[in-house]
Structure 1
Amino acid sequence: MIVLVGALARPGLMAALDLSGSAISLRGRLTGGARAGIDRGDWPVLEASADVLPGVGVTPSPALERYAAVMGLAVQSVAGQAVMGLGVGPLPEQGTPLADADHDALAAEIARQILIADAGLDPAVLAARLPMTGIWAASRVRGQGMAPSGQGVVPLRPEGAIRTISQQQPFLGYFGVERRELTHALHQGGQSARMVREAFLMGDAAVLLPWDPVRDRVLVIEQFRFAPALRGDPQPWLLEPIAGRVDAGETPEAAILREAVEEAGLQVRSLVPAFHCYPSPGAACEFLYQYIGIADLPDGVAGIHGLDNEAEDIRGHLMDRAQLSAMVDAGQISNGPLATLSLWLDARADRLRRDAAQCGAGQG
C-alpha cells in the first residue's frame, strides 16, 4: 500500500489515475507545491508538526507508476509508511497558487493526457513536453466550461452524441496529433458510420491588437513564420497582432498582458474583449481569446523584442489605424486574427474611444 498526500490525494486526480482507497492520517504539515501536478517536480515537502495530515491509502497500479515517472515522484518513507506526493530537495520557486477546484481539475486533465500517450513512449519525453501538455489540458478544462455557442439555432446534443471507438496520439512533439475512430449523431437521427479523424493539438492562445485611441494608431509585430514558408509563400515574415499560448494555470488576460511585454515591451492600460473563436476547427484544436489593448503609443515605442529561449525575433511597427485598414482592404494582411481584429476595431472605434475617455476621466 502507498499513502497519497497533498494534491495527489485530491478526488479529481485520483479519479484520473483510476485510484480509490481508504483514509489514513499522518503527522506533519505540507509546505510549497503551489503547482503540484502541473509542473514536474513542484511537489510539497513535509515539515515536522503535530498537525494531522490527511492521506489516502491505495494499491499501486501501472497508471500511478507511469504518472510518477513522468512527474518526478518517488515513494518516501514517513513514520513507517510508504508515502507519495512529496517533493525531494529544496522547494522550487513558487508560482501563483490556483483555487483548489481549479488546481484539481487541471492536474486531473494533465494526468489523463499523460496516460493517453503511447505506453511505449519514454517517460522522459512526456516529462520534457509537460508545459505543452499543461497548455492542452488547460484548454480542455476551459472548453468544457464554455457556454454552448449557436444558442437558439443549434440544438445542444445529449451525452453520447459523439462515441469514441478508439483513440491514439501517433505524434507528440512541441505540438501533438490525436487520431480517433468515432461516430456522431446525425441531423436526421441515428449515428454516422465509423470515421477516422485527426486533429492538431495546440491549446488556447491569446491575441492582442494594441490601440492608442488618442493618436488613433496601432502597433503590429513582424516575425518569421514556418508554416507560410513551408507552403512556399514568398513572404513568410508576417505582420501580426501580439499573441501567445495561455500557459497552464494562467488566464487568457494574464497571458496576453505577459505577451505584450515579451513581444513588444508594451504596458497595456486596459483590455477590451473582442470576439473569441476557433480559427480552423476542421483540424486545429486551437481557440483564440482576442482583445483590443488600450495603450499609449508615442513615436519611438516600436522596437525589436522577443525571448531568446524561444528563438523569437520580433519587430514592432507603429502605424495609423487607417493605414492598417487600408492594408486589410488591399489584401496585404495575410494573418487572419490581425485582419479580423482590424475590421472589428474599425466598426467600434468611436464607441471605444468614448469609453476610454470616460474611464480616464473617472480616474482623474
Structure 2
Amino acid sequence: MQDIYLVGLLAQRLMLAAFGLTGAQVEVKGRLLGGERAGIERDGWPVLKDEDGAINAVRVQSNDALQRYIAVMGLQPLSRPEGPVFGAVGQGEAVRPWHPVLTDLAAEIATLIVEAPADQDVKLLSRRLPMLGVLAASRLRGRASAPSGGEVVAPHGSEDLRVVAKRQPYAGFFAVEAWDLAHRKHDGGFTPVITREALVSGDAVIVLPWDPVRDRVMVIEQFRLIPALRHDPQPWLLEPIAGRVDAGESVEDAIRREALEEADLNLGRLYPAVNYYPSPGTLGEFLYTFAAIADLPDGITGVHGLDGEAEDIRGHVLPRETLVRMVTGGQVTNGPLAMIVLWLETQKDRIRAELAQASG
C-alpha cells in the first residue's frame, strides 16, 4: 500500500489515535495557512501553499478508519514530491498561519465517525457533521464534569459498567442508540445483559431574561411536535429561550447567540442556575440553565427565528409574578421553563443585592 502524508490537524497525536495509526515524523515542503475549523467543518481545512520552508507531517499506511474519515470530510489528496498529502486543501484565501486550536474536539468528532455503524453511508455522516460536533463537545464536557450525587451516591468506576454491544438503528438530525449492557447492582453483583435505548441529542442551553427594574421576564412561544403527537389541544408552548451548543462554542456564547436568534435580545450578566438531565432514562440531553439580566421595555417583543430552520417564534414579556403564578397553577407545561422560573423565585433577592452592590 502506498504511503500517504498527513499534515496539520491529521498529523496530531490525538487524531492519529482516533484512527488507530502510528507513523514516521517527516517534513513536507510548503506552508499551512488558516484552518482554525479543521475537523469541525468540511470547509474548515487549512490551505497548503507552495512556498519555501517545511511543515511537520506524519507518513502512514492508511487504513479503513482514515479512509472513511477522509470521505466524510471530502478531503482530496494533494500531489507533492514526497507523495499524496491529506489534511489541507490546495486553494483558499487564508492568511494566518495554521496552528492547533480545537484538536480535542476534532479528535472526538473523528472518533464518532469511526464508531458509526459500518453500513452507515458517508454522505449521511457528512450531513450529520454539525450534530456530530454537538455530540462530541457534549462528550468532552461530560468527561470533565464533577460526579453528581454528592455524598449520597457511592462513587463508581468504569469497571461497574460492562458494555457488550452498541447499535445505532436510526441517525438523522438526532440519533437513536441502543446498548446491550450489564451494570453493577446495589448488592455488589451485576445485572443480566439488558438493552437500553436513548435519543441522542447533545447539550443545550436554557435562559430566562429578567428585567429586575421592571420585574419582567421574557418567554417565547412556538409550535412543538411532541404535544401534537400526544394529542395535546395546545401544541404551541410557552418556553424559555433555548438551543443547542454548537461545536467549538462556549455555553455562554450559545446563550447569547440564541437570545439574538430567537428574540433579537442582547443579554447582560448571566447567572448560572441548575444544570441537569431532563429525562435521563431515555433522552441523551444535558441542559445548562441560566437567568440573564436584560432590558425589557414595552414593545420589545416580536416574531423571530432562523428562516433556514423554519422557526416561527413569538416573544412575550410578562410580569415575573404572573409567570410564577402560571407555573404553580399548571399553565406552563415546559419543564425547563418551570425549573428556571422557580429557581429565579428563590434567588431574585440575592441577585438584586449583588446588582445593587456592583452599582455602588
- Scaled to the shorter chain, the TM-score interval is over 0.9
C-alpha deviation, 1:190, in angstroms: 2.6
**Aligned pair in 2 of structure 1 residues 98, 307: CA closer, same or farther (>3 Å)?**
farther
Asked whether 1:251 is paired with 2:250, we answer: yes
Give the aligned CA root-mean-square deviation in angstroms: 1.7
Using a 3 Å threshold, how does the CA distance of structure 1 residues 115 and 148 change in structure 2: closer, same or farther?
same
Residue 184 (structure 1) aligns with: 183
Deviation per residue, 1:320-341 (Å, 9 max, x gap): 0010011011100000011111
* Cα distance in 1 between the residues matched to 2:315 and 2:241: 10
Q: How does 1:96-175 map to 2 (within 5 A)?
A: 100=101, 103-175=102-174
CA contact (8 A) 2:49 2:90 kept: no
Query: Deviation string for 1:79-115 (max 9, x for gaps)?
Result: 2322110124325899xx9974xx1221111111112
SS in 1 for 2:48: strand
Taking the TM superposition and a 5 Å limit, the aligned residue runs for 1:263-278 are 263-278=262-277
Q: How does 1:6-85 map to 2 (within 5 A)?
A: 6-85=8-87
**Percent identity for Structure 1 against Structure 2:** 52
Maintained 8 Å contact 1:204/1:287: yes
TM normalised by structure 2 equals 0.96
Q: Deviations over 1:291-313 (max 9, x none)?
A: 00100111111111101001100
CA-to-aligned-CA distance 1:114-141 (integer Å, 9 cap, x gap): 1222222221111011101111111011
**Alignment deviations for residues 237-285 of structure 1 (CA, whole Å, 9 cap, x no partner):** 0000000000000011100100000000100011000111000000111
Q: Judging changes above 3 Å, is the alpha-carbon distance between structure 1 residues 125 and 91 closer, same or farther for their aligned structure 2 residues?
A: farther
- Give the 3 Å change call, closer, same or farther, for CA 345–286 of structure 1 in structure 2: same
Taking a change above 3 Å as real, the CA distance of residues 341 and 70 of structure 1, as seen in their structure-2 partners, is same
State the SS of the aligned residue for 1:180.
strand
Deviation at 1:345, TM superposition (A): 0.5
Q: Which residue of 1 aligns with 2:322?
A: 323
Residue range with higher mean Cα deviation, 251-260 or 160-169: 160-169
How far does the alpha carbon of each residue in 1:44-64 deviate from its partner, in whole angstroms, 9 at most, with x for none?
A: 111233333111111111111
Give secondary structure in 2 for the equivalent of 1:82.
strand
1:260 equivalenced with 2:262 (yes/no): no
Q: CA deviation at 1:151?
A: 2.3
Indicate the SS of the match to 1:33.
Answer: coil
Query: Superposed, which structure 2 residues align to 1:312-351 within 5 Å?
Result: 312-351=311-350
Cα distance between partner residues in 1 of 2:24 and 2:335: 53
| TM-score, normalising length: structure 1 | 0.95
CA distance 1:328–1:93, shift in 2 (3 Å): farther
Give the whole-Å Cα distance in 2 for the aligned partners of 1:306 and 1:98.
35
Matched, 1:280 2:282: no
Structure 2: unaligned runs, 5 residues or longer: none
- Please say if residues 78 and 85 of structure 2, whose CA atoms lie closer than 8 Å, have aligned partners that are also in contact: yes
- Matched-pair contact (CA < 8 Å) for 2:218–2:317: yes
Offset, 1:352: 0.7
**Distance in 2 (alpha carbons) for counterparts of 1:238 and 1:98:** 45
Distance 1:99 1:52 in 2: 17
Q: CA deviation at 1:157?
A: 1.1
